[in-house]
Each structure stands twice: as C-alpha cells, then as structure tokens.
A and B are shown apart, each in its own frame.
Chain A
Amino acid sequence: MSDLVEALQAARESYVREDYATTVKKLFREHFEELEPDAEIEDTLYFNHSAIPDFKLTWGRGSAGKSSRDIFLRSSYAAVVAGNETTQITTGDPVFLSISAIQTVEEPGFVMTKTDVARVARETDHVLLTDAQAFREMAAPVPDSNPLSAVVRSNFLRGARGLVDEPIAERLRSTSQGPEGNVTDLIRENFFEDAVFRMERTALLVQWALSPETAEEELPKIDGSMSTEELRNILPWLLGQAVVPEGDGFWKALGSLFTLEQLEELAPDLNGHDLTRLVQANLTTWSAKRAYLGLNIPTENSYAEGKVEPDERGQHGSEATAPFNAGAIVAEDAWRFDSGTLGLAHGPFMIRVSNSGYKLKARPGSRTPKWADTVHRLNDYAIRSVSVAGIERAFRVDARESANIKEDINKFVELVEDDYFVSRLEVLLPGLDRDAKEKVEPVTIDFAGGIAIADGPVQVGALVRAAANIMGNENLDDELQGSLPPEADTAAQ
C-alpha cells in the first residue's frame, strides 16, 4: 500500500482535473479498504462536491447494528471553513477529509487560525474534521497486537468526531497503548458515545484478561454486539493470553457479543488456536444450521496457506469411503478451526458446524443405516418424521399430535418382515431462546450425506450432540455439558 500523503503529492504534481480526481479517489478508496475491511464502501463518483459525499461507508448488517458515514474529500481546511461546511452539512455524520494539512491562512479578506479550525469542527456534534496526514497516522498498522491500539484505529472513521489533525492523531494512538487499560479523556472527547462504549468494552476485556481477579464484578457491564473487526482486534490476542480466567463466565460474556458466523469470518486468524473454552461456554448462545460428521484427519494449515478452495473445504468427499483409520487420528478432543470450519475433534470423528450451506455440504454417498441399529440412538430426541425403506416396502410416519412415532415404526417393522433402512429422519432441536420463548426447529438428518440440516438456527451444542449421537453413535454428553436440549427428556417419552 502506497503512503497516502506521498501518493497524494505525486498525484497533485502529475495530474490535472479529471485525471487528478480519479487518482485521488482511487487512492482514498484503497486506503479506506485497508482500514475498514468490513465496511461497505460506496463511491458516489462525485469529487469534492458541495452537497454530495465522495464516499459513503456503511458498517454492520441488518437494521440493528447498521451505521454509515458520509466522507467529503476537500482540498484544504480553508475550503471547509470558508464554505461553512460543518453547519451546511449536518446529516450523515459527515467526515471532512482535507488533502492539505495546513491550518493557517492569512490573505486579504480571509484569515484562518488553528483556533478557527478547532471551533468549526466543534460546531456540531457529529462532524469529524481531519486531513490526509492524520488519516495516515490513525490508519498506521498497530505495532504490537495491543487490542486497545487496534480498537482506536478501527473506530477512527466510524466513530471519531471533532478535529483530529496529526498531533491529536498521534496522541490518540499513543494513549491507547498504555498498560492501564483505561480509555482516556482524549478518546472520550474525540469519539462518539457508541465508539467510546466499544472502546471501553475492549479495555474491560483487556483488563480482565490481564488480571481476572480484579474484574469479576464488571462482568455484567459487557453487553451489546461486536463488529467482526472489533472481534478480530481482540479475540486472537485474548486466546494467546495465559492469564485469562478459567471459568465459563468470561467466555460466555464474550461469546454473547458475537455470532458463530462472525467467528467463522475470523477462521484464518484463529487457525491453530484451541477454542474449546470459548465454544463450550457458548453452546447454547450460538446457533448453527448445519452439522457435518466427518473423519478427524489432521489438515494443519491447509486453510492458512490458501490451498483449499471453499468448494473443496465443505465436501470432504473422500471421507465417505475412507475406512476409520486410527493412525490418522488426532487424539485430543478439542474445538478448533479446521479447513475454515469450526469443528469438535472427538476420537475418530470431527463434527463440524456452520450456518453456511456453502461451507458444509453433504458428501456423496448412498449408505443408510439399518433401522434396527438406529432406533436406540433416538431415545433422547423428539422425532417429527421418519422414512424407512426395505427391499419390498417403504413407509413414512409423520408426527401429528403424538410425538411417539418410534413405537409406531417398530410395530410396522415387526408386522412386515424386510430389511429396513432409515432413508430420512427429522428431529426437533432447541432453537435460540429469543424473547425467553422456547422454540424448536426441525432438523433433517441425512445419513448418507453425513450431515444434519436445520430449517432455522439451532443451538450449536444441541446440533452437535444430535449429529454425533444419531449419525455417529457417539455420546458427547461430557463434552457438551450444559447444552442438552431442555425438552428432549419429556418430549421423547
């Protein structure tokens, strides 16, 4: 990536008019993309227009966490002051980004001092006035993996306000590297409330990780939802800290701030990390729609090196026919990212979970288990539908009022002799407890494909447990403590 200020100077020296505009916009776009990898960047194609922004940056998905800012490129601070722009443009939380950093002008009819610039920046609450040099300072890579410094950087365009010129930018970046883990007054002054909230949350997590005993009572203060960028700033660092508390409380509080999808976006950053404590604490907090039962074959670093294409990742085609070979097994039971998907290694198995049908696909295969071998695995589950097929007959039973269809099938199977295989099975698993309402989701077990597919979001723990139980005849109750489907005991009676 080119140095922004030097590249702007070069553009000024060698381009005129339209070429200049195109070059400058391209430069800023590249630097925005680097600083804000998770933001959607809209180029309006206008350049230095008095009313229409040059860029519109939008963060967050859905209506809940969505926020956006209008970026106005300007030639100089003087252009902003002379045009009275901070009071002319008040909607869209505007950012006025001056190409020149000069703050003093003295010419007949127009005098501007640094005080004027600071005053204009403060005329409305939601304006950021900054320049290319300050932008370079704020966007500079974080020297160490200090999450606080990273969070100041990643909140700059989204949450800074007032005047942030180069001296202020320098102070902002350096204060955030202190060991005290506290958000300073300077940060409070130069960022929106919600950005300060995010930074304080990060500061709290850092403090906690470094000295857990002092922060226990702060636990309930951690709430809201984290952006993927925030998560990227803090999670790998947290996982690398030796002093992070042992108990579930910390990891549960952390896990409630994001979703499994967000965690999946961080797969390359989390390669090699043992995620067991984090996942265990959030088996009922997170949801997934797919669970895949495959073999636990070590594929270290295949994702990090970019050798495995997403298409191949989800397929695991070879596993369908590969014999269970103890020699290729990683003994340790642990949650980790493997080939881009989150999975629990358990003995010979790897149970992967995801929300994405793109990441987890059914493997090609046609083997289905015998009903007689399967029936005992279903004791704990509420069954919605079963299809069994023999050589001469096939039938299907759907639960209507009664959930006890297992017995019905047993009766049929005894009545007409045949070799019955389970071709399709649908169980009900707990969904996410939104609005404190118990919700169940139908989940189809595809034995041949080695995959369980839910219609809606299902608690990760329940989905993994069912996939391992029903498809693999593995009991994971010890590994998945606390995530048993609450209604299973009664519903299956």
Chain B
Amino acid sequence: MPEDIQEIGREGAATLKRWLEATTYMELPFDAYNNKIDCTVFTVGGMKKQLDLVGYMLIGKKAPVYIECKRYRTPGGQYKEFVKFLAIAYGHTAKEVEDFGESRPSLYYWVTFHPFNLDNWTKLETYDHMKLALQTHPEYLGGKAFDEQMAHAIASRVTVLVFNPKQEDLSLTRTELEEIRPILKRKAKTL
C-alpha cells in the first residue's frame, strides 16, 4: 500500500485522471498504485515524496505535471499538508537545479474534493505562501539560502483545483475526445 494516498484511493485517482485528461491539455499515464517509482519525486536534502498522478502537458514545452489528490469531505488537515506540498515543489525544482544546473518548468497541482482555509484561499498560489512554506519546512531548502527568483517561478506553476464529481458530466465524452483528436493534434511526433 503506497503511503500518503489512502485518502484518494484507486477509484478517486482514476476519476481525477479521467477528468483532467478530458481537458485534452495533459496526459497522466502514471499513478501511485501502478507506477510507484514514476510517481516519486526527489527533493534537495535527500528526501522523496510519492504523488498520486504524474504525467506531462500536451501543449507548449510538454512540461511535467505532478498532482497530489485529496478526497476529503471536510477541510481536514489539508492546509497543513498543502503548505508542505509547496515546500516539496520548491525542493523538487531545487534538486533538478542541483543535479543538472537547470530545471524543467514542472507544474504542481493540488486537486481536492473539498476546499480548505478560505481565509487564505486567494493567496495559496502566491510567492508569499511559497516563502511561508519554506519557513515552515526549511529542510526543503537543502541547506541553501531561499532563492526568491526560483520561488516566484515555482509559485506561478502551482495550481489548486476543487473537483465536484458533477464536473464529469460537463467534460467531453470519450467519443468526443476521439473525434477531436485528429483536429487538435495535441501529440506532436517530438515527444
């Protein structure tokens, strides 16, 4: 049983995968239940974290996509976990820079069935919150100083989504997706 993912479950992960892929903008072939290694991100400071869904965008630079899913009926302890998620996002990009001297423009999604911390709701994706996250979890700085420029960039690539199961009824159906596939040409041969 993979850690951290009990909340979402196989069915929940499959539902969110279907919903997000139906946007036509991303492909999420890896989930924590079937592709443990592919869903693990490594951070500075020698830590790792397993996420629920991993894939890549099908537009632009085909940026990697990392998704943490939460299937809560209440806000629960989500805010605390979200702050840690921000720190992990920073630690992950910092690890790429440490290893390769550069990083890919990874996208970090927090997808939940229930909203949380409405007081801070509009600030969750901001630089200030990223800074706060690293103050709370300084271990994800990897012993280095907080990089403001990198924090700005990562914060701009964090997205919080709230999923309502009824949204599936508003998504393109499987048949419609198959019909528009040749028109959209999301898949270039370059990937």
A-side residues, CB < 8 A to B, are 16-18, 20-21, 44-53, 75-76, 78-79, 82-84, 88-89, 91-92, 100, 107-110
Residue of A nearest to B6 (CB): A108
- Structural contact, A45 and B35, CB atoms closer than 8 A: no
The one of A44, A109, A110 that contacts B187, using a Cβ cutoff of 8 Å: A44
Selecting from B128-136, B158-166, B171-179, the interface stretch reads B171-179
In the bound complex, residues from chain A placing their C-beta under 8 Å from that of B17 are: 50, 83
In the bound complex, residues from chain A placing their C-beta under 8 Å from that of B22 are: 50-51
28 A–B pairs (Cβ distance < 8 Å), ordered by A? A16-B37, A18-B56, A18-B191, A46-B27, A49-B21, A49-B29, A50-B21, A51-B22, A51-B177, A52-B178, A53-B178, A75-B35, A78-B33, A79-B14, A79-B31, A82-B10, A82-B11, A82-B13, A82-B14, A83-B11, A83-B14, A83-B15, A83-B18, A89-B174, A107-B1, A108-B6, A110-B9, A110-B10
- Structural contact, A49 and B27, CB atoms closer than 8 A: yes
B30 CB-CB contact with A under 8 Å: yes
- Taken together as a complex, chains A and B put the C-alpha atoms of A46 and B27 apart, in Å, by 8
Residue of A nearest to B172 (CB): A51
Interface string of B13-54 (1 = CB under 8 A from A): 111011001100001011101110110000000000000001
In B52-71, the 8 Å CB interface with A consists of 54, 56
B189 CB-CB contact with A under 8 Å: yes
**10 A-B pairs closest in CB distance:** A75-B34, A83-B14, A82-B10, A48-B29, A45-B187, A50-B18, A51-B174, A51-B177, A109-B9, A47-B29
Q: A20-B38, A21-B29, A107-B1 are in contact. Are A51 and B18 (CB under 8 A)?
A: yes
- Taken together as a complex, chains A and B put the C-alpha atoms of A45 and B189 apart, in Å, by 8
In the bound complex, residues from chain A placing their C-beta under 8 Å from that of B14 are: 50, 79, 82-84
Q: State how many angstroms separate the Cβ of B163 from the closest Cβ of chain A.
A: 15
- Structural contact, A91 and B189, CB atoms closer than 8 A: no
In the bound complex, residues from chain B placing their C-beta under 8 Å from that of A48 are: 29-30
The one of B11, B30, B38, B174 that contacts A110, using a Cβ cutoff of 8 Å: B11
In the bound complex, residues from chain A placing their C-beta under 8 Å from that of B9 are: 82, 109-110
Q: A17-B30, A20-B38 are in contact. Are A44 and B181 (CB under 8 A)?
A: yes
- Structural contact, B34 and A78, CB atoms closer than 8 A: yes
Q: State how many angstroms separate the Cβ of B24 from the closest Cβ of chain A.
A: 9
* Chain B interface bracket (under 10, 10 to 19, 20 to 34, 35 or more): 20 to 34
In the bound complex, residues from chain A placing their C-beta under 8 Å from that of B34 are: 75-76, 78-79, 100
In the bound complex, residues from chain A placing their C-beta under 8 Å from that of B10 are: 78-79, 82, 109-110
Residue of B nearest to A56 (CB): B178
- Taken together as a complex, chains A and B put the C-alpha atoms of A48 and B18 apart, in Å, by 11
The one of B18, B27, B187 that contacts A88, using a Cβ cutoff of 8 Å: B18
In the bound complex, residues from chain B placing their C-beta under 8 Å from that of A46 are: 27, 187
Q: A75-B34, A75-B35 are in contact. Are A52 and B181 (CB under 8 A)?
A: yes
In the bound complex, residues from chain B placing their C-beta under 8 Å from that of A79 are: 10, 14, 31, 33-34
- Structural contact, B18 and A109, CB atoms closer than 8 A: no
Q: State how many angstroms separate the Cβ of B30 from the closest Cβ of chain A.
A: 7
Q: State how many angstroms separate the Cβ of B22 from the closest Cβ of chain A.
A: 6
Residue of A nearest to B17 (CB): A50
In the bound complex, residues from chain B placing their C-beta under 8 Å from that of A16 are: 37-38
Query: Can you add 15 more A-B contacts, CB < 8 Å, to A17-B38, A76-B33, A82-B33?
Result: A21-B29, A44-B187, A48-B29, A48-B30, A49-B27, A50-B17, A50-B18, A50-B22, A75-B34, A75-B35, A84-B14, A91-B174, A108-B1, A108-B6, A109-B9
